[in-house]
Amino acid sequence: MWGSWVSILLIASLGLIGSCSAAAVEYDSSAVIINGERKIILSGSIHYPRSTVEMWSDLIQKAKEGGLDTIETYIFWNAHEPRRREYNFTGNLDFVKFFQKVQEAGLHGILRIGPYACAEWNYGGFPVWLHNIPDIKFRTDNEIFKNEMQTFTTKIVNMAKEAKLFASQGGPIILAQIENEYGNVMGPYGEAGKSYVQWCAQMAVAQNTGVPWIMCQQSDAPSSVINTCNGFYCDAFTPNNPKNPKIWTENWTGWFKKWGQKDPHRTAEDLAFSVARFFQQNGVLQNYYMYHGGTNFGRTSGGPFITTSYDYDAPLDEYGNLNQPKWGHLKKLHAALKLGEKILTNSTVKTANYSDGWVELTTFTSNINGERLCFLSNTKMDDVNVDLQQDGNYSVPAWSVSILQDCNQEIYNTAKVNVQTSLIVKKLQENDTPQKLSWEWAREPTKVALLGRGGFKATQLLEQKAATNDQSDYLWYMTRVVNNGTSMKNVTLRVKYSGQFLHAFVNGKEIGSQHDYSFTFEKPALLKPGRNIISLLSATVGLQNYGEFFDEGTEGIAGGPVELIDNGNTTDLSSNEWSYKVGLIGEGRRFYNPHSGHAKWVSGNLPVGSAMTWYKTTFQAPSGTEPVVVDLQGMGKGHAWVNGNSLGRFWPTLTADPNGCDGKCDYRGQYKENKCLSNCGNPTQRWYHVPRSFLNNGSNTLILFEEIGGNPSNVSFQITTTETICGNAYEGTTLELSCNGGRRTISDVQFASFGDPQGGTCGSFQRGSVEASSSLSAVEKACIGKESCSINVSKTTFGVRDSFGVYNNRLVVQAVCK
């Protein structure tokens, strides 16, 4: 297929999307060529299962308005095939409908089948039943695994073909991916790993999709597929075939979060810098991972210990709000890149260095008409002045890239943020009155487990995935121990545990609990004369999703040992007869479904701090259309449902380290996930997304399972909304301000100053040495009472003379939305 590289494919052009017409498309090292038109591609990841069907159109439209032309998503094998040969493509798992909506919006799509996804998704996207097939070995030259992988891949491809989703059929999908980041971990797999990579490529290409296949992070990818880059920066990446396009499949817009960790943040300036540098270095296709992160509903979060929120600090936040200034700053970058698209994709390229190599000027000169586009980048931590002689003098901020139209006019700089910052708050909707929730409760029926009665038995300690098939987070391990003495005996119970949360009971009483990746649990226990029952409840918090042989990692007690220590004497219980119970009885009886009728709910005498307890309440949905969250402060650890729909795991009692958040965030220098942290000393996640589509117009039901003990008295429902907006724009640009929907308008301008105002963040603005006296009145006139407004940042707008101000006049505004 790719023997001579430039391959003619039948795929849809942007102009023909939606008409089911097909067009010849070529790829080369500098462009995607659609209907003879050479293009760069700006793409963003939106994972369809991490939102709801009702959210898809809005998310896709906001991506389009942000300047993207392509949407990318993974296919999650375990979501679609939870049991072998039993498939689910309904609701928010309907990937066909998702791509149809992408096409309806006039955008292209990228289909990442994997079927290994990673993505901080439970077990990396693999179904656990796959792990339990005898003699299987994942991601290597193993016939059993390859047969299952091919069966699922073919299933997805055939569904896409039947729906005419591939561009060769007039559909939106222009690229497909097989495997994922295997090159990062393949060393320990040896020659079998190399054979597996070859097989992956052959199997994928044989699917005859009519579109190219890619492999990310696979430097030795076969010539039949395109190798691509993932990371915070990919400007230095070089494809393994010089005729291949330079593709960046994952530009990490932020980072994921684990329970007990702080909030990560990647600045808009640095993210834009990475993109501009990529295209400066002849990039062709760039994809944001994530553009919308979303929510890990149900038990989909991986890790272990990945939070329910998968916000990722993406340009669209977890709830679909614009994350400003990131969204707007990138939108302006995309516009600048598209302005120079015809030059970037068909040009002669020259590079010159300044300032001891820290500053690089890259000149793209059109092979058609001689027009030019320049990138002027500065990788120093200080600003640099550069003399380009006939093209002028430029002050290039530290760690930034300027895009110069005709190489003599700056149309964008990655460090100059000329868009608003939105402060999004969680609050009671103004038209609503606070709801006093009335709670009912029910005990989790643990009596059977505490008496040692399970569903099956074994004379060994089973690995949790093997025992549960991942049908629940919970597995009971139960055994009996005889004390032949005539009096009570003090012993120590010791358990070697593989993670993640262990509760230990002796004769029905909990003697302790502990959580971590792996640990040895040791607690004193009291044995009565005669028969004693030891019950151990193991709870997973997402299965491992990354690393070599990660699928073989053990969960639960997994062989132990489990020991009793008595005056220096150790008794190993590992080979005892153990009884097992998969899941909670409340899960099996569907206590989380308000219509199941199996729970015996009790009113009054609300238990507080009570472990293994179910709580139920009814509530009215917040009015309006803005996103809804439930505040679970006061609860411990467990799972939440609204009207039977899972919101995911909660764990607000687990707080981040109080140290390491100084409030300072310097965009300069390479970003790492431990840079620019916030939320120190607070719950890792306090608020949980309740999609509007989960809610009824009338009464709604919230059900919580509390595992470790909490107090539901302070639980409340709130909205997320833009309350304060701050704008910053330099002279010669336009400042756009918006309340971002929700029927809110700009009600007050708290601060406005054109000149040299001081301060760089909302709440810190101060007047500088010069200020136009009409600053406030001009902004009020343009914006008060409007949902959005635009201000031309110029001396004319503010009625001042040409000699007014400083070299870099700017306008800053702080306003309120109500």
- Give the residue from 297, 326, 285 showing the smallest Cα distance to 72: 285
Q: Among residues 296, 424, 313, which one has the least CA distance to residue 673?
A: 313
Q: How far apart are CA 643 and CA 696, in angstroms?
A: 8
Q: Is the dihedral of CA 602, 607, 613, 619 positive or negative?
A: positive
Distances (CA, A) of 564 to 481, 492, 555, 561, 567: 10, 6, 22, 10, 10
Beta-sheet pairing, 530-539 with 108-114: unpaired
**Helix (H, G, I), strand (E, B), or coil: what is residue 62?**
helix
The whole-angstrom separation of Cα 404 and Cα 382 is 20
Q: Which residues pair with 420 in a beta bridge?
A: 727
Are 290 and 253 within 8 A, CB to CB?
Answer: yes
What dihedral do alpha carbons 693, 695, 698, 704 form, nearest 10°?
170
d(CA 717, CA 427): 8
Residue 594 vs residues 461, 589, 751: alpha-carbon distances, Å: 36, 11, 50
What does the DSSP 8-state code read for residue 635? Answer: B
Helix (H, G, I), strand (E, B) or coil at 805: coil
Strand pairing category for 213-216 and 173-178: parallel
Residue 368, burial from CB neighbour count under 10 angstroms (0-12, 13-18, 19+): exposed
Angle between the 95-104 and 143-162 helix axes, to the nearest 10 degrees? 40
d(CA 484, CA 489): 10
- The helix or strand, by DSSP H or E, that contains position 252, with its residue range, turns out to be strand 247-252
CA distance 734 to 728: 10
Give the 3-state DSSP-derived string for 527-557, with helices as H, strands as E and coil as C. Answer: ECCEEEEEEEEEECCCCECCCCCHHHCCCCC
Inter-axis angle of helices 190-205 and 143-162, nearest 10: 20
CB 812 within 8 A of CB 752: yes
Q: Give me the active site residues, please.
A: 181, 250
